[in-house]
């Protein structure tokens, strides 16, 4: 069971240090735990979580090793920092920064080739779900991803990200089962995962963990979700 915390654009190095020191003291044994701070806080997280089983991943990665790509960070740079992996293709990257299936594939392939693990995000919008297009969207997004033992897919229905809405356990199970029929990889659920709904979602047979957003910013909340995964 993998529980990853996506901090988005929260927590600079000072806040990250405090969080990581608290997380070190928490009991999250028996769970694969990953935190994904902003780029400026990665080095702090790597340093303070060294010697633990808690991994650190980036929120994005470029497809080239270097070059004239202002504002981007490459996989070799992340490896040099001691970073474990990267999130790729989050819906916010698709919505606000022009990410496409093609660029998601390029980022994923480059990260895997460099030895990073990848959490590749897929999911439909509310309009697409209402039109009955969920499977078509997921098929298109998953089809560009390579089969790789270091790849994990995160199913994040866009209508449940940052909205307070969450897919029901049945919806999550159905979507995860469909994704696994396309690609044999672990599939995480993401979309308003909280301590009070985590156990039910994580108990579904096709759900292999969670990509947690806002609820990962508080140590108590995040560790409660981690512990819910053990009970599941």
H helix runs in the chain, sequence order: 13-25, 42-48, 75-81, 91-97, 101-113, 126-130, 134-143, 169-182, 195-202, 219-231
- Beta bridge partners, 6, equal 36
Residue 72 — φ and ψ, nearest 5°? Answer: -100, 165
- Active site positions, annotated: 90, 156
Residue 212 — φ and ψ, nearest 5°? Answer: -100, 130
Residue 121 — φ and ψ, nearest 5°? Answer: -95, 135
């Amino acid at each position: 069971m993998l529980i990853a915390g996506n901090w988005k654009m929260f927590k600079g190095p000072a806040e990250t240090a405090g969080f990581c020191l608290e997380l070190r003291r928490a009991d999250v044994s028996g769970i694969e735990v990953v935190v994904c701070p902003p780029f400026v806080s990665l080095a702090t997280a790597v340093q303070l979580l060294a010697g633990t089983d808690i991994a650190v991943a980036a929120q994005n990665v470029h497809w080239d090793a270097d070059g004239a790509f202002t504002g981007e960070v490459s996989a070799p740079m992340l490896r040099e920092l001691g970073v474990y992996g990267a999130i790729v293709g989050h819906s916010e990257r698709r919505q606000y920064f022009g990410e496409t299936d093609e660029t998601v594939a390029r980022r994923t392939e480059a990260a895997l080739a460099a030895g990073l693990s990848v959490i590749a995000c897929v999911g439909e919008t509310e309009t697409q779900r209402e039109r009955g297009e969920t499977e078509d969207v997921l098929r298109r997004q998953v089809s560009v991803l390579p089969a790789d033992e270091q790849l994990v897919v995160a199913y994040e229905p866009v209508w449940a990200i940052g909205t307070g809405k969450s897919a029901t356990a049945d919806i999550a199970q159905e979507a995860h089962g469909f994704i696994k029929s396309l690609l044999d990889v672990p599939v995480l659920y993401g979309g308003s995962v909280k301590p009070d709904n985590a156990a039910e979602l994580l108990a579904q047979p096709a759900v292999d963990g969670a990509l947690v957003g806002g609820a990962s910013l508080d140590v108590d909340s995040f560790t409660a979700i981690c512990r819910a995964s053990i009970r599941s």
